Structure 1
Amino acid sequence: MTAPDAGLVEDAAWLAREVAGDLHSVLLTLYPDAETLDTLRPGETDLATANAITRAVAAVMAEEGVEIFLQRADRGAFRRWLATRTETPETRRAWVDRERVLRGADAWRALGMPMSPDASPAEFPAAPGPVAEELLVAYADRENGEFEGLVNALLESGRDDILDLALRKMEDRHSAENAAELGADLLAIAGGGALGPSGWAEMVALPVALTIGAAPDAPALAEGLIASGGLAASEQLRFLPGWRSPADIDALSPPAIRRILLDLTEGREPRDLPPGDTDDLVRDGFGVLVGLRIDWNLAIWDEIAAAGGLPEEEETEAEETPEARAQTKAIEAWRGVVAAETGGSVPLDLVPLGETGNVIAIFLDEAAGQVQGLDLIRDLLAEAEDKAAGAEVVCHPAITGDALELKAYTAAGRPLGVLTLQAADLPAPPDAVLGLIGGWVRLVQVPPRG
């Protein structure tokens, strides 16, 4: 094997040092042979130089405090990935082998390089009082990031007692509302972290308004969301099988949420959140799918090297992009399909796990706050019951734009009435309202024929 080109390796190390100050992490690629290198980077076959650059960049970045992620190039995986995309040099450089990215000690072993020992967990005094006071001081000025760092250190050290004492002190000195705000911030921090195969992972919840009857198949519902086209390209979701109880989620403490996050990251069933009883969930009206959202928005060294540095950040006013609008439409379409196929069960918003109860409460408040449309629906069903003379009444819903049309029939197909409501008449979007209506009457995807 020829010796690496020392000049190219030195240039790469210089560029790495230039950009390291603006990075938290970087993804590098190691090549097993010249054929694989040529497949990913056509025309390049100097294997020794390519891998020497990877190791030199890793050493420089680590010295500057940048976390190293590593993928070992695989021709088969790369070709399968590229087959579904338009082939351009930019596309080639954007490849990430999500199932086999390495970090930490695993990455350094693959590079054949020594890794500095991990920092030992923070140690705190046995008495919780002083650190609880420190936590409250940091909370009062949490813009500087010290509060979040201290909470993470306490969670890693298992010091639940300090977190509990800080919450009690907040309530005693201020109010229950202030303590609840602190508790919500603790839950939010506990539910996410620099874990898993990418730079960031967080727990998410998908609350679903369930209709009377059997709960929908949880894995099928999760797969439908993932395949809907409503997720960003850099976003990956992994859901636990089975339904979880909103009440069980609301009862979780920050340390329990962090333990669940670690379990999900490692692919384990969480002991702190077992599956709920589906009969109870249907009776109560809501079930929750719990999953892990992985952010794959990693800085890729090949892209940095090709551009000669990091792209300049453009200061633009926040506005919804065409991609975001398309994702919103895809999610709305998926919700409509779920409502139709399950007789009215409706997924709510995908939110961080700690916000599950808030999303359900908002949904119920909105439904209760505007009753005119719901009263008209109840009137339709009451009239249909009278006309049905004891026969089962079913409804076929149709959503056109912002309008909801309900057609009532007997199960045998005899028409009993029709009602059209605009969005302004409803307490929630039409597809979400179906979750309520499904609790009053059986919804059918296809109108019955007499």
Structure 2
Amino acid sequence: MPPKAGLNDGLVGQAAALAREFAPELDAVLLTHFPDAETLDLYRTGDFRLGEADLATVTAVNRAVAAELAANGVRVFVQRADRGAFRRWMDGRIDTVENRLAWRDRARMLSGAAALEALGLDARIIPAQPRLGTVPGPLADSLLAAFAEEDGAGFEALAHALLAGGRAGVLELAVRKAADRLGEDMAEDLVGALLAVAEGAEAGPSGWAELVALPVALVQGEVPEAAALGSGLIAAGILPATLELRFLPGWRSPEAVARLDPAAMRRVLLDLVAGMEPRDLPPADTDELADAGFGVLLGVQLDWTIPSWEEIAAEGPPDEEAEEDSPEDAKRTAAFDRWRAATFEAGGCVPLALVPPSEIGDEVSDFLGEAGQETAGIEEIRDFVAMARQEAPGEEIVCRPEVVGDGLELSLYTAAGRFLDSLSLAADELPARAEEMPRLIEAFVVVVKDAPGR
């Protein structure tokens, strides 16, 4: 008599079929490996998406899913469930399926061959990477052709492969060919695109890492401690929980970053992922930074948004289109603005924005443009006051500011109460919000609440 079918018979085959179906839409997947039944029971609840499957079935499902995904080029990550680490994660959180599935043991994540071996699989099932070839010319031509394509996916894939293979000569040749065939502007565009690719890679414990930079205007010529500034930014709560940011402890020069070619940029990224000082970008001299007026904090950002197999099996592959202008984004933007203002008040420097290193120059240029506009607004008010002083030589001049809508109206009087002149400024002509202007104006003229003599 054949054995009676068990409750979980067929789950392994169903999971393998689902993995084959979803593999073309996935880049990476996280599987949780359970060392014993007690840990599995702690991890799931009555309505947990693994249902009531026993440890042997869960382990078999993980192995079958990993084999299918890895054979189809999906990066497989494995975390070994640990009861202590999981309890610490859940402490203070509402006990929901979503919070349980969100646990990531970042310190002990396995990937690549180590992940498959932890599940008892042969790492040789991972497909070998296609060979690039040895002749630089055809590879450079292929890179240029891919650069001309509209979607850009082929260009990024080939550029990543060339960078990973250390083929800097091919990249340089492609730039020279772009200049000869298409002009210097297109060559510069190609370099910019290669730098953007070089700033991110499949690397690090989370599987994806990116370089980030925080340009800082040193408006008082003083250079604050880089480590404290970076720690303050991280503590300000401007990043989602799925991103981890690690800054280098010292300052870097914007000019030195701008001199990096794509191959050097990738080496800097890999050094930061490895926890090393970047060989291509040594720390800057702080006296030189103070003279130049700008410094850069350089860091690496790790993306921990690896979808778990349980989430994928229940809901399908994740939607790549992120919601724009979400309430969470607005809160993080407000948190950054608060931190930036507090940093300026405390130390006199102005952090600009967290950007890829290749965008430092644009960020500094935008800041200088805005600073120029602010200076122009202040100078107009200074000239207005100076003209009034010429009309009343020897008399004390006072200013009565009044907010009108978003703009500001300034009325000048002598201290004795004689009206001299008025000036109306729209919001876009002001270096700060109209309500904040009196504290700026009182630096060069007495500000009063009411007109003298009234």
TM-score (norm 1): 0.79
Residue by residue over 1:160-206, the C-alpha shift from the partner in whole angstroms, topping out at 9 and shown as x without a partner, is 22211221222233332222111100100111112212242110100
The partner residue of 2:361 within 341, 347, 357 is 357
1:365-384 alignment, distance < 5 Å: 365-369=369-373, 371-375=375-379
1:243-258 alignment, distance < 5 Å: 243-258=251-266
2:32 corresponding residue in structure 1: 29
* 1:155–1:426 Cα change, 3 Å: farther
Letter in 2 for 1:159: R
* Aligned partner of residue 171 in structure 2, secondary structure: helix
The yes-or-no answer on 1:161 pairing with 2:166 is no
TM-score (norm 2): 0.78
2:128 corresponding residue in structure 1: 119
Deviation of 1:5 (Å): 4.7
Deviation of 1:107 (Å): 0.9
Deviation of 1:94 (Å): 1.7
1:34-433 alignment, distance < 5 Å: 34-42=37-45, 46-116=54-124, 119=128, 122-126=131-135, 128-143=136-151, 145-305=153-313, 307=314, 309-310=315-316, 319-343=324-348, 345-369=349-373, 371-375=375-379, 424-426=428-430
Deviation of 1:120 (Å): 5.2
Letter in 2 for 1:24: D
Deviation of 1:354 (Å): 1.2
Letter in 1 for 2:338: A
Unpaired segments of 5 or more residues in structure 1?
383-401, 405-420, 441-450
1:16 corresponding residue in structure 2: 19
Aligned-partner Cα distance in 2 for 1:228–1:156: 34
Instruction: Work out the percentage of aligned pairs sharing the same amino acid.
Output: 52
Deviation of 1:151 (Å): 1.5
Moved more, 245-254 or 113-122: 113-122
Aligned-partner Cα distance in 1 for 2:172–2:128: 26
Aligned-partner Cα distance in 1 for 2:26–2:320: 17
Residue by residue over 1:303-324, the C-alpha shift from the partner in whole angstroms, topping out at 9 and shown as x without a partner, is 234x2x41685989x6411111
- Aligned-residue CA RMSD in angstroms? 3.3
* 1:33–1:403 Cα change, 3 Å: farther
2:449 corresponding residue in structure 1: none
Aligned-partner Cα distance in 2 for 1:71–1:61: 16
Tell whether the 8 Å contact from 1:121 to 1:156 is kept in structure 2 after alignment: no
Aligned-partner Cα distance in 2 for 1:193–1:179: 23
* 1:163–1:378 Cα change, 3 Å: farther
* 1:215–1:376 Cα change, 3 Å: farther
Aligned-partner Cα distance in 1 for 2:287–2:352: 20
Letter in 2 for 1:119: A
Higher gyration radius (CA): 2
* Aligned partner of residue 143 in structure 1, secondary structure: coil
Deviation of 1:241 (Å): 1.0
Tell whether the 8 Å contact from 2:207 to 2:303 is kept in structure 1 after alignment: yes
Tell whether the 8 Å contact from 2:45 to 2:97 is kept in structure 1 after alignment: no
Tell whether the 8 Å contact from 1:212 to 1:283 is kept in structure 2 after alignment: no
Aligned-partner Cα distance in 2 for 1:101–1:312: 21
Tell whether the 8 Å contact from 2:221 to 2:293 is kept in structure 1 after alignment: no
* 1:381–1:90 Cα change, 3 Å: farther
Deviation of 1:253 (Å): 0.5
Aligned-partner Cα distance in 1 for 2:324–2:28: 27
* 1:150–1:372 Cα change, 3 Å: same
Q: Tell me how many residue pairs correspond in the alignment.
A: 394
Aligned-partner Cα distance in 2 for 1:403–1:258: 48
Aligned-partner Cα distance in 2 for 1:60–1:268: 35
Tell whether the 8 Å contact from 1:4 to 1:52 is kept in structure 2 after alignment: no
* 1:360–1:378 Cα change, 3 Å: farther
Tell whether the 8 Å contact from 1:129 to 1:162 is kept in structure 2 after alignment: yes
Moved more, 45-54 or 243-252: 45-54
Deviation of 1:134 (Å): 2.4
Aligned-partner Cα distance in 2 for 1:213–1:288: 14
* Aligned partner of residue 263 in structure 1, secondary structure: helix
Deviation of 1:352 (Å): 0.8
